[in-house]
Amino acid sequence: MNVLIEFLVVFKGYLVEVLPFLFMGFLLSGLIHEFIPTRLVEKHLGGKGIKPIICSTLNK
């Protein structure tokens, strides 16, 4: 029983630390999805090869 309580306490602490960043990520991705056209993203990050991967990683 002590192990379960300790797990829940640690899990709650971890959740409290992670939730603000998770929320900001969801908010930012929602804004990007809503206001940046899909074709623009496909134009700059679509395609085959290594270039789209590097561009999306480096945020060019």
Amino acid at 33: H
Place of tokens 């603000």: 20
| Residue of higher predicted confidence among 13 and 51 | 13
Inform me whether the pLDDT recorded for 13 exceeds 60.
Answer: yes
Q: What pTM did the predictor assign?
A: 0.59
Q: How does pLDDT run across 17-47, given as a tens digit for each residue? A: 999 999 999 999 999 999 999 898 888 778 8
Q: Which two tokens stand for residue 43?
A: 């134009």
| Residue of higher predicted confidence among 59 and 51 | 51
| Residue 41, domain extent | 2-58
Q: What is the pLDDT of residue 29?
A: 93
CA distance 36 to 29: 10
- Average pLDDT for 9-15: 96
Number of domains observed in the structure of the chain: 1
